[in-house]
Structure 1
Amino acid sequence: MALAIQGARLDGDQLCSPNVTSWPRRARGCAPGYARGAGLVALSLALLAGCGGTGGAAPAESPAPAPAPAAKEPFDIEEALARETGELPARELRAADWSARAFGAGEAKIEPKEKLVAISIPLGTDTHVECFVYNTMLDSGEVIRNFIELLDPAKVEVARIVPWEVSVHRESPAVFVQALYLVPTAGGKAAGLLKIALHADRARPIACLHDEVGYVRTFERLAKGLFDSFESKSAAPKPEYTDTVILRLDKVPIGFETSDLLKDEGGQRRWFSRSATFIPRDPRSLHIEDEASNVLIDPQGQIKEGVWIETSGGKANHRIELSQKKNFEYEYSGEVEGKKVQGTFTPAAKAWLASPVATASALARLLKKKGSFDLKQQEYMPSVDPTKPVDVQYLRDASGAVTVSLKTMRLVGSLAPDGRPEAFEISAGPPKLTIQRAYVRGKL
């Protein structure tokens, strides 16, 4: 994908070749001669594996003598951004309890760590694709935010950050983000393109990085192939039902929400939902948020108890716990923006709150009937108000369009036959914000 460098300052109307400088020198201040990308790998491990440094990595080799400075030459950034590799053979990747396939120009290096397995895949270009297979669930937005922060504003000038793809692989979403940046050098500006992919599997999330101008589609194909082919002996149990919706701002994918209906060892059902959004503040930055909820459902499909968490910028916006008491009373407790909250409420209908499963089932029954319908109920949404339930209306008009209204927000679109969202547009004016179902399996 070719991207214009908005706001870039050129030296003599030219950008110098990206080979003039290398990532380790930018990220860590190392001497010339380190392999391109080595500093990125070390920093990534420190950030995401919780190492606090690079102690888990193999010792770096002594740097080779510095090469002679590259001659400054005219550099076509659009041409460089459009570079792709040719066809490369698929190769087997294996670790202790998982296997996968990924194409590459040579054999991948696989290195087990304490909390992850690191994979270095050569493309036959200046830098390898670096992937990390984790052994625990991660907050998707937080992982990507940490990788973006490798672009130290004191050392690089970010020209543009944009999410370019959200897709579903093995029933879990994957997010792709790229950051185009400039680095000052003695010979002028050097360009770099950091590409990030994260597959948000519940048991074995995978992150991949590539720091080199161009090769966007090559990186995307490699990462998707890895995500699709991954097989683990410690895979999470399959949910009874799962669906994923993708959020778009105009045509740009900016997030996802995946919801799973799970049955625990005691036979109780839980509705587990997780989402991440990557909303552009401006061409050079993203506002990134993660949300997750884990709701225990009683036999009637009502909320028995639950936990709701929202984080952004490495901090919790809220963490709220809710539980049934007596006489249709709920108790809530937790923190919102660092302040403790606690109290009780009783829904207006003097009934237990419907879970997302019960709401979808009620809407599915109404959808089977001809004509309009109007369903009004209260739902618990701590991101809107943690102290009480919110009034929500589901209205289908004579044309068949469904409008969902809560507070000042209106969503207009359609429901799937199972009562879950199919496609909606949020009526908030331009730019257009849409929600589209991307994947579903199972029955509620």
Structure 2
Amino acid sequence: MSERPLNILISGAGVAGASLALVLARQPGFKMQLIITLIERSPVPRITGQSIDIRGPAVDMIKKLGWEQEIKARHTTEKGLAFKNSKGKTMAILPASGDAKAQSATSEYEILRGELTELLLDGIKESKEKGAHVQVVYGETIKSMEDRADGTGVDVQFARGKLEDQRYDVVVAADGIGSPTRGFIFGKEDNASHIRPSGLYIGFYSIPRIPGDDQLWHWATFPPGLAIHLRPHRNGKTMGVYLSICNAKKEPNPDLEAILHADVAQQKQYLRQRFESSVCTWQMKRFMDGLDATDDFYMTHWCQVRTPQWAKGRCVTLGDAAFATMGVGTSLAMAGAYCIAGELSKIASSEQVPQALQSYESVYRPYVKTQNLDFALLPQLANPQTAWGNWVLHTVVGLFAALRLQDLVTWIMNRNEKEEWKLPEYGW
């Protein structure tokens, strides 16, 4: 084993960063001792959030690492997707496939983001108790970073004094779509050019469950580009509500961009006004009362991220900071973390870090490219602006359900999984 440990800094303790810290701590093949530091700008663990899922090679990953049963035990209990009109009438139901290799819109590994993050952070704590040199520091961010002239590391300065400024052998940006760390690595001036807006804005929150709620994901669409989603939670006590507003075009909406930067009270007020003035009558009072009362609300503009480069010297991007993609972002982040840890496990000295990170990009980018679907017709096609558009949407999905063509939908969703790319073997 090398005399000097490999000092690794990961910025962002969400799914991507926590997955990487845990895989690094447990990777069996390392020739070097690791010192892993995971920082998070939030002062407390961010263990909230609504449904996410695990698909493709990430399923193979969780099986290799022995996480499958723990994740399955936290399944949201969702059993399929029901399309509804503005009055709450069910227009079509697409059930879960029951097949982990050919999943439908409802995943066999559907889990709340908060529960997955908590599971990963608990795993990091357990690894530390077993001797891994890993720490999680909350309320800290990177102030600046600079490559050493002699190539021996990256000097990092911290903004909030929770950590001393120091040299790292590896720096990982896993801090989301608007990653400030990505700006430090590749230049702040072109940071925004990697972000592609979708025009879809979503507010997420939880409400109390009532006797009439079931295990289906209910999705009601109505003009102009509005939708309400109601999804089950495993606890049997709450349901997830998503209020979405979709522009007619894939571009930022100035009013909504301003609301995103407002406080939560203003965000809630804006959504209440938009949805109460709509044609929707499906459980509107319940959803609006729940919006007022909830304490886990958050709102976002869902965007894609397409960066031409992930690795530069001793620095690398991971997850949404590198390749945010609707529907498979969690899966890409987890499998990417597995590949970064695996490539680093092959090296025998710090000098080989840049080659390992380049190797990760060479290995993993071909798969990510198969998932980098442009928005093209989505999300606008799924969130029509007019009553006629909603009628067409419900008619089409109704025909799919009536003719039992959901297997075709599942095939379309999973066609890329049959490509030749396979999750690499790294000694697990």
TM-score (structure 1 length as normaliser) = 0.23
Structure 1 or 2: more helix by fraction: 2
Structure 1 or 2: more strand by fraction: 1
TM-score (structure 2 length as normaliser) = 0.24
